[in-house]
Amino acid sequence: MAETPGAIPAELARRVRLLVLDVDGVLTDGGIYLGATGSGERVELKRFDIQDGLGIRLVQEAGITVAIVTGRESHSVRLRAEELGIVECHQDPSAAKLRIMTGLLERLGIGWEETAFVGDDLPDLAILRRVGLPAAVGNATSDARACALWHGTRHGGHGAVREFAEALLTARGEWAERVEAYVRDREAGL
């Protein structure tokens, strides 16, 4: 039976100034499509969920900075970050995520306690253990889930980030306002 995600305490949610996302297993289903062009150039594709993208936009519109920190390097991740206006996109094939996070927080002037991180697996543990709001997607490993304060039911690449975005903004009392602003903006074009 799927776990029901708990509500995020309002005071904790209001403290969040930075949302950091893992990619493989969080923004994607963890699958990697590998291929090559006729000339032998390597091609790597990933599947991203459109609802996650809208959830990220709503978080950004609420004034929360969104960043990506991943332990793989992929052109498709850079492309998705650009589409979503995520400036802080950090990819490190050595999976030295803690080092990246420490530098990111120092540069942005944001504390660990003001940071939410959504992860799913062992490379995320060091960060999940330090942030103010550690979150795990529905398909997270038991080790990642044990570190998390918030547990999602949706799997990575299938609306898990949207589920977290809604929980975060609801706890801040901003979800309904963000949704109405989104709808108003689209109706204005009529």
Instruction: Please write the tens of the pLDDT for every residue from 6-26.
Output: 789 999 999 999 999 999 999
Place of tokens 């990819």: 91
pTM above 0.85, yes or no: yes
Let me know: does 50 contact 56? Beta carbons within 8 Å.
no
pLDDT in tens, 111-142: 999 999 999 999 999 999 999 999 999 999 99
**Type and span of the H or E element at 89:** strand 88-91
- Euclidean distance between the first and final Cα of the chain, in Å? 44
10-187 has CATH 3.40.50.1000 classification: yes
Average pLDDT over residues 139-157: 97
Cα 122 to Cα 143: distance, rounded to the nearest angstrom? 7
Cα gap 140→124, rounded to integer Å:
10
Helix (H, G, I), strand (E, B) or coil at 69: strand
Confidence at residue 1, expressed as pLDDT on a 0 to 100 scale: 34
Collapsed DSSP state (helix, strand, coil) of residue 17: coil
Tell which wins on pLDDT, 188 or 11.
11
Q: Where are the domains of the chain?
A: 10-187
What is the chain's length?
190
Beta carbons within 10 angstroms of residue 186's beta carbon: 9
Q: How far apart are CA 33 and CA 190, in angstroms?
A: 40
Q: Which pLDDT band holds residue 2 (cuts at 50, 70, 90)?
A: very low
Has residue 146 got a pLDDT over 70? yes
